[in-house]
């Protein structure tokens, strides 16, 4: 209960801060975008699988919105979001069928390889994706209403926060379900899981598709708030950020990746001013510090408060 109250308080603070500092609204919407995608990465991390290519699904979500907006002329917010989720889910299904056969390094590196192929294709297929120029995304209409840019950004922030809450609860239920509980079991002992009659590939494929959908939603929000997308979204540095956000936030609970994203995007907002060339160094050093000194991430700090004495 205390745990839920802390999360609720954090969410309330998250909603309130942009009201006082309007320039933070943009940053916080990006936080939600990265948070969704990192939640997807975190689901796979629970099974001990590191995807250093999840930026691909982030980009697929973003490019679905971009394609609908600038090529197909569908300027409606809800259909764009739904399409992004569905398309990235389909990509996740096709790629996942291949990926669930692999563990450890192979899983990580194959994801990286596939995302590099995706990045190359996004850069080369000029007619479809606009090449390295990218695509521009017009402000879509919301539920049949034409809204101004400012109102749209507010809708995106608070609508996104609401969506994060709903998705967070769904993912939480999933992680507590037999399918979700099987994930840590895959990491600790896959063969025993099979002896219990659980189809491990199916468990992992479900998780993989789910994580792709989450990354796609994140990418769609990213595309909508920034208004312009480039193939860089699929580049491995984006994947690296998503992994860091997941690890930094901690994979213990669904709020973790969002906390991690808030922290990282705030650091980035400062880094752009003070150290624009050292962004990857900051991410890398951050990863090292978290891995060596804070293995359960920032979410682990909440766990420490709420479960005092429960666990050694």
CA distance 57 to 95: 10
Q: Is 199 in the site for another protein (CB under 8 A)?
A: no
**Residue 142: helix, strand or coil by DSSP?**
strand
Q: How far is CA 114 from the centre of its chain?
A: 18
What six digits make up the tokens of 39? 């939640």
Which one of residues 45, 62, 255, 264 is an interface residue with another protein (CB under 8 A)?
Answer: 45
Give me the residue label for tokens 């017009």: 138
- Count interface residues toward another protein (CB under 8 A): 46
Which range, of 81-89, 209-217, 263-271, 281-289, touches another protein by CB under 8 A? Answer: 281-289
Which one of residues 39, 41, 161, 283 is an interface residue with another protein (CB under 8 A)?
Answer: 283
What ranges in the chain are assigned the alpha helix state H? 2-20, 24-46, 55-67, 77-99, 104-124, 126-129, 149-176, 178-188, 190-195, 200-226, 236-249, 255-274, 279-293, 297-306
- Exposed, middle or buried, 122 (CB in 10 Å: 0-12/13-18/19+)? buried
Contacts of 102 (CB under 8 A, 6+ apart): 110
Q: Smallest gap, in angstroms, from Cβ of residue 50 to another protein?
A: 5
Q: Is 108 in the site for another protein (CB under 8 A)?
A: yes
Length of the chain: 312
What six digits make up the tokens of 11? 């969410």
Q: Are 297 and 250 spatial neighbours (Cβ–Cβ below 8 Å)?
A: yes
Q: Is 278 in the site for another protein (CB under 8 A)?
A: yes
- Exposed, middle or buried, 145 (CB in 10 Å: 0-12/13-18/19+)? exposed
Q: Is 279 in the site for another protein (CB under 8 A)?
A: yes
Q: Is 48 in the site for another protein (CB under 8 A)?
A: yes
Q: Smallest gap, in angstroms, from Cβ of residue 240 to another protein?
A: 6
Q: Is 281 in the site for another protein (CB under 8 A)?
A: yes
Q: In the stretch 52-91, what mask flags binding to another protein with x, by CB under 8 A?
A: x---------------------------------------
CA distance 59 to 218: 9
Q: Smallest gap, in angstroms, from Cβ of residue 11 to another protein?
A: 28
Characterise 227 by phi-psi region: left (phi > 0), alpha (psi -120 to 50), beta (else): left
Which residue, 21 or 98, has its beta carbon nearer to another protein? 98
Give me the residue label for tokens 């956000």: 245
Which one of residues 17, 76, 102, 296 is an interface residue with another protein (CB under 8 A)?
Answer: 102
Which range, of 2-10, 171-179, 188-196, 221-229, touches another protein by CB under 8 A? Answer: 188-196
Which one of residues 9, 13, 288, 305 is an interface residue with another protein (CB under 8 A)?
Answer: 288
Q: Is 263 in the site for another protein (CB under 8 A)?
A: no
Which range, of 24-32, 49-57, 137-145, 252-260, touches another protein by CB under 8 A? Answer: 49-57
Contacts of 23 (CB under 8 A, 6+ apart): none
Which residue, 164 or 264, has its beta carbon nearer to another protein? 264
Q: Smallest gap, in angstroms, from Cβ of residue 114 to another protein?
A: 8
What six digits make up the tokens of 161? 């926060």
Which one of residues 78, 94, 124, 170 is an interface residue with another protein (CB under 8 A)?
Answer: 124
Q: Is 106 in the site for another protein (CB under 8 A)?
A: yes
Which residue, 83 or 185, has its beta carbon nearer to another protein? 185
- Residues at the contact surface with another protein, assessed by CB under 8 A: 45, 48-50, 52, 98, 101-106, 108-110, 112-114, 116-117, 120-121, 124, 187, 189-192, 236-237, 240, 243, 247, 277-281, 283-288, 291-292
């Amino acid at each position: 209960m205390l745990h839920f109250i802390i999360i609720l308080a954090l969410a309330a603070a998250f909603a309130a801060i942009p009201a006082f500092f309007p320039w933070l609204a943009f940053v916080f919407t990006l936080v939600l975008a990265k948070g969704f995608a990192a939640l997807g990465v975190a689901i796979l991390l629970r099974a001990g699988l590191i995807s250093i290519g999840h930026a691909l699904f982030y980009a697929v979500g973003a490019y679905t919105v971009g394609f609908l907006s600038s090529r197909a002329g569908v300027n409606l917010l809800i259909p764009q979001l739904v399409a992004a989720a569905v398309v990235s889910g389909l990509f996740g299904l096709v790629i996942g069928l291949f990926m669930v056969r692999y563990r450890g390094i192979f899983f990580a590196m194959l994801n990286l390889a596939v995302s590099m192929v995706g990045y190359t294709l996004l850069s080369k297929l000029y007619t479809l994706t606009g090449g390295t120029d990218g695509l521009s995304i017009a402000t879509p209409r919301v539920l049949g209403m034409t809204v101004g840019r400012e109102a749209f950004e507010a809708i995106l922030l608070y609508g996104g926060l609401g969506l994060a809450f709903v998705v967070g609860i769904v993912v939480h239920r999933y992680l507590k379900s037999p399918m979700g509980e099987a994930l840590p079991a895959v990491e600790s002992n896959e063969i025993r899981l099979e002896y219990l009659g659980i189809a491990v590939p199916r468990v992992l494929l479900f998780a993989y598709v789910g994580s792709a959908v989450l990354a796609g939603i994140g990418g769609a929000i990213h595309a909508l708030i920034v208004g312009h997308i480039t193939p860089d979204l699929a580049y491995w540095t984006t994947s690296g950020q998503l992994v860091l956000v997941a690890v930094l936030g901690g994979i213990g609970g669904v709020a973790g990746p969002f906390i991690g994203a808030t922290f990282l995007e705030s650091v980035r907002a400062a880094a752009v001013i003070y150290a624009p060339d050292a962004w990857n160094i900051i991410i890398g050093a951050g990863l090292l510090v978290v891995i060596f000194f804070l293995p359960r991430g920032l979410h682990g700090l909440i766990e420490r408060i709420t479960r005092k004495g429960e666990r050694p």
